[in-house]
Copies of this chain bind each other. A is one copy, B any other.
Amino acid sequence: MSSPPPIHPTAELLLQAGTALADQRGLATMTVDAVVERAGTGKGTFYRHFSDQSAFLIALQARFASGVATAVADAASGAPPGAARLRFTLNAYLDACLGQRGLKTFLTEARNVPEIQIAVDDALESFAKLIAVDLRTLKLPNAQASARLIVAMAHEVAIAEQVAGRRHPALREALLELSGAG
């Protein structure tokens, strides 16, 4: 909500190294050694900026989540609840995910670190709540449950697109059709 606190340049460097590793390798190989090697700093430097490895991963996840959340909120603010807004927000979500290199790692591997899992689930739940408003406007019964499943589908499309590195029109179309936003 409020703008994030100013970030130390070295911390930024480490986070960018983490982003690159998330994009190219994944969480399993994101060791402190790998991060500092990539960032070109000493190993001890890592602990000057992050209390431990877990805090680093959480900070990294927060960046991704923040970027996507902003894009979705912007898209949603432009239209009244309904099918059109649902279409906008789903596409905005997918475009935002596609634009964030390394995001897939958190979408698919986050389950290991409990705190990250919670953060990811929270973000998806917020998205579901937003979608539920559209569904209620469309008089869909079971709006809450349906919204949750639509988010699951969007999640699947986002992962597929990250793997492919580009949009997947057939999946997007199917998503909009099944969601009732087509």
Cβ distance A132 to chain B, nearest Cβ, rounded Å: 11
B149 touches A178 (CB 8 A): yes
Copies in the complex: 2
Dominant SS at the A interface?
A: helix
What is the CB-to-nearest-CB distance from A170 to chain B, in angstroms, rounded to a whole number? 4
- Asked whether A173 is an interface residue with its Cβ less than 8 Å from the other chain, the reply is yes
Interface residue ranges of A34-92 to B (CB < 8 Å): none
Determine the distance from Cα of A150 to Cα of B112 in the docked complex, in whole angstroms: 25
Within 8 A of B (CB), among A133-175: 141-142, 144-146, 148-150, 152-153, 155-157, 170-171, 173-175
- Would you give the 0/1 interface string for A95-115, flagging 1 where the beta carbon is closer than 8 Å to chain B? 000000000000011011000
**Interchain CB contact (< 8 A) of A152 among B112, B152, B170, B180:** B152
Whether A1 sits at the interface, judged by CB under 8 Å, is no
Given contacts A108-B111, A145-B174, could you give 10 more A-B pairs where the C-beta distance is less than 8 Å? A28-B112, A141-B177, A145-B173, A146-B174, A148-B174, A149-B156, A149-B157, A149-B175, A152-B156, A178-B180
